Amino acid sequence: MRCILLQPIEPASGSLKHCQKYSSSSCSAPNWRVYSSVRVDTGVTAGVEVGSVEKESLRAKEHYFDGWASRYDGFWTSLVYRWCHRLLLTHVRPADAVLDLGCGTGRLLGQMADRWEQMRGVGLDLSEGMIEQAHLRNRHSGRLKFLQGNAEELPFANGRFDALLCTFSFQHYPNPEGVLAEIGRVLRPGGRFYWVEAGAFGRTGSARMNITPGGLRLYSPACRAQMALAAGLGCAAHRRLFGPVLLSIFVR
């Protein structure tokens, strides 16, 4: 059973400035439980384990993005994403070892490698088609590598990266807590995680939308901060980049 669930939200007010502003209310437990129970209900109603539902969601995502990959950079959404990449890079500190999670065709890493000559990067994406495109477009093959994989199981040693970016991809993850645990593991102490995509409306809670295969999950600033904290990542800042697109910066 699929359903759209928009969580109860607080009216938005003012611009986003700092995480502490949200830390007291954070990802309110009742909202989050409602969200979780939707996932569980979905599995139970269909007579399938939640893990199987997640696997099915991953397969649906992979298929969806494989079909999109060769034309991805020409879509208007990608143009908006690229504009957000530019804005994001005004907030990113230079780093030597960078991971782009859900890298798509690898454009963001390419821009970073253009700017920072010492930088080495890895792009990981669930979709083989996206990774093929990233290889074709790679202008820095000595410094940038791309590989297919699932954000829930990162094939990297603990503390391997100085910075990890995730743009418009986290919303697709059926097991967000598992991915955050992996992010916390592969970042070195003091390393930074940059999370970019639309936030849920309001300051707390989350939202689920069935607008792509497997659905989208959006998270408010407080919800992001609370989930990341559980993975050992402290919130440094939230910034509105463009319209509803929210950058959240975390430090391991």
Ligand X SMILES: C[S@@+](CC[C@H](N)C(=O)[O-])C[C@H]1O[C@@H](n2cnc3c(N)ncnc32)[C@H](O)[C@@H]1O
DSSP 8-class letter at 165:
E
Give the span between the Cα atoms of 153 and 126, in whole angstroms: 11
Which is nearest to 198 in space by CA: 161, 239, 246, 152?
A: 246
**Residue number, 104 or 191, with CB nearest to ligand X:** 104
Q: Whole-number minimum distance, CB 30 to ligand X, in Å? A: 27
Give the span between the Cα atoms of 187 and 73, in whole angstroms: 29
**Residue number, 16 or 134, with CB nearest to ligand X:** 134
Q: Whole-number minimum distance, CB 229 to ligand X, in Å? A: 22
Which is nearest to 196 in space by CA: 250, 146, 132, 154?
A: 250
**Residue number, 168 or 195, with CB nearest to ligand X:** 168
Which residues neighbour 165 within 8 Å (Cβ) at sequence distance 6 or greater? 88, 92, 98, 99, 100, 101, 108, 193, 194, 196
**Residue number, 58 or 207, with CB nearest to ligand X:** 58
Q: Whole-number minimum distance, CB 156 to ligand X, in Å? A: 13
Which residues neighbour 8 within 8 Å (Cβ) at sequence distance 6 or greater? 31, 205
Nearest residue relative to ligand X (C-beta): 104
Q: Whole-number minimum distance, CB 60 to ligand X, in Å? A: 10
Give the span between the Cα atoms of 212 and 68, in whole angstroms: 12
Q: Which residues pair with 248 in a beta bridge?
A: 195, 238
Count of Cβ atoms closer than 10 Å to residue 242 Cβ: 16
**Residue number, 59 or 93, with CB nearest to ligand X:** 59
Q: Whole-number minimum distance, CB 15 to ligand X, in Å? A: 23
Which chain residues interact with ligand X by CB under 6 A? 58, 61, 65, 78, 81, 102-104, 108, 125-127, 130, 150-151, 167-169, 172-173
Stated length of the chain: 252
**Residue number, 22 or 219, with CB nearest to ligand X:** 219
Which residues neighbour 30 within 8 Å (Cβ) at sequence distance 6 or greater? none
Q: Whole-number minimum distance, CB 228 to ligand X, in Å? A: 17
Q: Whole-number minimum distance, CB 106 to ligand X, in Å? A: 8
**Residue number, 22 or 81, with CB nearest to ligand X:** 81
